[in-house]
Amino acid sequence: MIKKLLIANRGEIACRVIRTARELGIETVAVFSDADRNAMHVELADQAVHIGAAPVGESYLLGDRIIDAAKRTGADAIHPGYGFLSENPDFVDAVAKAGLVFIGPSADAIRAMGLKDKAKALMEKAGVPVVPGYHGDNQDAGFLAEQADEIGYPVLIKARAGGGGKGMRLVEKPADFADALASAQREAQSSFGDPACLIEKFIQNPRHIEMQVMGDAHGNVIHLFERDCSMQRRHQKVIEEAPAPDMPEDVRQAMGAAAVAAAKAVNYQGAGTVEFIVDGSGPLRPDGFWFMEMNTRLQVEHPVTEEITGFDLVAMQIAVAEGQTLPVTQDQITATGHAFEVRLYAEDPSNGFLPATGTLDILDFPTADNGVRVDTGVRQGDVISPHYDPMIAKLIVTGPNRNAALLKMSKALEELVVHGCVTNRAFLSALVIDADFAAGRVDTGLIDRKGADLTARPDPTANTLALAALAAVRPADAEDPFANFRLWGAARQAVTFEGDPNISIFVETTATETKVTTPLGDLTFSVVAQNGPELLVEENGVKSRAIVHKTGHGVLVQTAGHDRFFKFFDPSASASSAKAGALTAPMPGNVIAVVAKAGDSVSEGDRLLVMEAMKMEHAITAAQDGVIAEMLVSEGDQVEQGALLVRMQEDE
């Protein structure tokens, strides 16, 4: 029996494992880097051990330090979570050599499935359908380009190691292949230490459907139904659901049988996910899905499976690792209802989903009383750093059917309040009410096709301007009966927010009502109630609810699916030092490639350099035609958001 468990991870998944371990009466040990010294998972664990500096290569990827921490604290077993060392067979071997239990599959199973090219060859032998493509060892760029020509465009370049969308590029024409391959190889090397890639035919109108499997040490393997993970941007999942919409029973059975066969082919033990690419051009059919890869670990989206089946997958992982037999057979597993999970990220959807950093000044989740499960590893006041994945939390809801669950998710996102860094909350709200998504017409290209609409930031209205100004002038003690008292009439105050031009608003307040004069129109409010950041106002007989929160820098206004931060105008602030034609860093990160130099003539859209943030590459391109006057960074530099990167020559 496992009595003490070390979690070799951080953030949300570490907190998730700790919760189940606590329910099982198992003590827990956390590990942490310099950046995570005061993190939530450290606070929740019974013990915590410092393992190094903030970069993952100096802390969470150092298996020897993690094993040493387990020995020092008397842990019996190690749970790897997902990411980091979770699919590293050498780490699994080292854990076993140290006399500890690894909560996961064997090193041999991880090796068999860890490299996509070898895994696909193995799957072909096991009778599992695979996508046509080149899965060999020859990594010569010219040879791979020839293979792409033979396969036929569009093709997908995929890192053979790892997952999470890293090292993956869609190439639609031969002219783009060389740059895409080089970029995928760099990202694969950075993320997984292996630059090798494979080339596959890109399936048109693809859906991404995966099967959750679980195996034990006695040769038993089951599946716990499917999850649809088609809602993706840049090959990374955004929304997952279970079961998949419009999934015929014969396809479910065929896919489940293929997933079980895949797991049995490597004598799989523990939790795993077999991922399939599915032809979504028409109704799903038994011969219209192909094996992509197997993730030999727990998945980020595992909660939706837990919600419809009623099983705690972490508890099952631990039981299997203890040598227990699976608690159920395949015919005893049933699914009830429909579940959704959305991933709340610190990122800017309106700027290519670039990752963001900042302090979570406000973090107010919907409660379990409202039927919302929140899996998170951060709290209000925590910092989202550039060192790790930018996910803030997962919101999970379950309903009796898909429509009911979708409505519940829309409401949960409306109630969620987060401020301090840019997030994808409004984008998620727009996505869950999208007509195609709501109707179950899903495929991996939906977000790209509708990106402009889904990421649009509507211009402020008179109502939102008025609410911002109202929040700006309301006293901290909103119930103070003398707050708006003036001996000679109404209190008149002015608020100016930054804009182009700046936005000046006048607020006249009496004991009974407030008149707000904005550039877009005048409104007269009466404040019905205020509960923390929630403000209920009445205007022309219509009551409405909004979230308003004043900080030292401005006011956050959140209504339905939209949020906007109005920054106070500071007349003493100096003008930006950036000159016309200069390019600045859109996020904090590392410069990993410089492809242009001073004196080069460039055209709008030309790649000038490449930055890496949170293990993802981002190309910095010329905003206009011109000549580079100065390249201000070099390969290997680490820069902050807003730092000057390139200066262009000014027109004479």
For residue 231, the tally of other CB atoms under 10 A from its CB is 24
72 is a catalytic site residue: no
More confident position, 618 or 297: 297
Task: Compute the average pLDDT of residues 339-368.
Answer: 90
Asked whether residue 483 carries a pLDDT value surpassing 70, the answer given is: no
**How long a stretch of residues is the chain?**
652
pLDDT at 486: 55
Nearest to residue 4, comparing CAs of 72, 69, 77? 77
Alpha-carbon gap, residue 341 to 375, rounded angstroms: 10
Q: What phi, psi does 13 have (nearest 5°)?
A: -70, -35
Read off the pLDDT of residues 219-238 as tens digits, 9 standing for 90 and up: 999 999 999 999 998 778 99
pLDDT at 480: 53
* Low-confidence winner among 352-356, 364-368, 586-590 (lowest mean pLDDT): 586-590
Asked whether residue 240 carries a pLDDT value surpassing 90, the answer given is: yes
Q: What's the predicted TM-score (pTM) here? A: 0.81
pLDDT at 576: 41
To 5 degrees, how large is the angle CA 381–CA 384–CA 387?
A: 145
Alpha-carbon gap, residue 631 to 475, rounded angstroms: 49
Q: How confident is the model at residue 358 (pLDDT cuts 50, 70, 90)?
A: confident
Task: Write out the two tokens for 424.
Answer: 């994808």
Task: Write out the two tokens for 212.
Answer: 């959750």
Q: How confident is the model at residue 446 (pLDDT cuts 50, 70, 90)?
A: very high
pLDDT at 652: 58
The DSSP H or E segment spanning 594 is strand 589-594
* 501 upstream amide cis, omega within 30 of 0: yes
Task: Write out the two tokens for 77.
Answer: 């077993």
pLDDT at 489: 55
In the block, tokens 């015929």 appear at 248
Asked whether residue 613 carries a pLDDT value surpassing 80, the answer given is: no
Alpha-carbon gap, residue 511 to 500, rounded angstroms: 34
Q: How confident is the model at residue 565 (pLDDT cuts 50, 70, 90)?
A: confident
In the block, tokens 């930006």 appear at 576
Read off the pLDDT of residues 522-555 as tens digits, 9 standing for 90 and up: 988 887 777 777 788 888 888 888 888 887 788 8
* Catalytic-labelled residue, pool 65, 160, 297, 425: 297
Tell me the average pLDDT of the chain. Answer: 90
Decide if 468 contacts 497 (C-beta within 8 A).
yes
Alpha-carbon gap, residue 408 to 369, rounded angstroms: 12
- Per-residue H/E/C for 128-196: CCECCEECCCCCCHHHHHHHHHHHCCCEEEEECCCCCCCCEEEECCHHHHHHHHHHHHHHHHHHHCCCC
